[in-house]
Amino acid sequence: MKKIKILAAICAAALAISAFAVPTYAVTGDGCVDFEDGNFSFITMKVEGEADADASELSVVDFNGSKALSVKVVDATKVPKIWFHVEQIWAPADLAKIKRITVDCTVASQDGTTAPGWNGGSIGVDGLNAAGDADPAWSQGDYTGPEEYEAAVSPTVTLERKLLLPTNMWTETTATGQLLIMRWSNTVPAILYFDNLTAYDADGNIVTASYPGGAAPASDAGTAATPSASTGNTPAIIMATVMLLAGGTALVSRRRNRK
């Protein structure tokens, strides 16, 4: 009986450990990234090796009655390059389904009185496969808006990037990818607010966003959270151990019952 209790305790402990080790993905209610959970671990500022890039400050704040990603520009003469690590936002198996991406954008001046003025830039996409080859190669599309020449806070508009050509699209072999929103430099120090990042397939259906939980990293390239695909071995080993121990417990129990 003592051996059975010990084995059962080991199984329970292993199951408890596995509950913490299994990488969990939090799925948003409507399939988009709305930042309501405060997580932006899958977004960094691309500054490494980019002389013209601004080291904007990232945070999630209350804005317009909900949570939004805040991108506070540090040097208005430089370009904020906001890197959305797509393989950490959408399940890697779903990247090839994405044909269109939208995000709500609002711009405000930091002093609260000056109009932020014209807002425009580009939305670029690219990726790499496991071998480090382009998958897809870099491409970008321009955007304009929102604009505001009088108020300190602009109206909110929806920015869009369509992936129309096969050479623009992520594929089944894309291992890492980026959606890079760049705002061309402006003389007015501004804060950009982003919300409701949404991806759509060819039929207009939402490709559900799923992303790992955890604290947001520092705003630098290469510091985003590790995708669960690269951390899946530990849970598998633990579960295999649990099954082995459970089988041993059952075997001991049956032997005792036969006596």
Answer for the pair 76, 134: CB distance below 8 angstroms, yes or no. no
Looking at the fold, whether 16 and 105 belong to one and the same domain comes out as: no
Looking at the fold, whether 80 and 201 belong to one and the same domain comes out as: yes
Q: Confidence class of residue 127 from pLDDT cuts 50, 70 and 90? A: very high
User: Which tens digit of pLDDT belongs to each residue from 77-90?
Assistant: 999 999 999 999 99
How many structural domains comprise the chain? 2
Q: What is the pLDDT of residue 216?
A: 39
Tell me how crowded residue 143 is: count the other CB atoms within 10 A of its CB.
19
Q: What is the pLDDT of residue 13?
A: 43
Looking at the fold, whether 115 and 183 belong to one and the same domain comes out as: yes
DSSP conformation class of 42: T
DSSP conformation class of 99: -
Q: Confidence class of residue 96 from pLDDT cuts 50, 70 and 90? A: very high
What's the rounded Cα separation, in Å, for the pair 42 and 178? 10
* Domain extent at residue 246: 1-23+232-259
Among 117, 259, 98, CA closest to 163: 98
User: Which tens digit of pLDDT belongs to each residue from 30-40?
Assistant: 899 999 999 99
Q: Encoding tokens for residue 22?
A: 């299994």
The structure's pTM equals 0.73
Q: Confidence class of residue 23 from pLDDT cuts 50, 70 and 90? A: very low
Measure CA of the first residue to CA of the last residue in the chain; give whole Å: 13
Looking at the fold, whether 19 and 64 belong to one and the same domain comes out as: no
Looking at the fold, whether 142 and 193 belong to one and the same domain comes out as: yes
Looking at the fold, whether 149 and 200 belong to one and the same domain comes out as: yes
Looking at the fold, whether 156 and 255 belong to one and the same domain comes out as: no
Looking at the fold, whether 5 and 131 belong to one and the same domain comes out as: no
What's the rounded Cα separation, in Å, for the pair 189 and 72? 8
Looking at the fold, whether 121 and 46 belong to one and the same domain comes out as: yes
Looking at the fold, whether 111 and 17 belong to one and the same domain comes out as: no
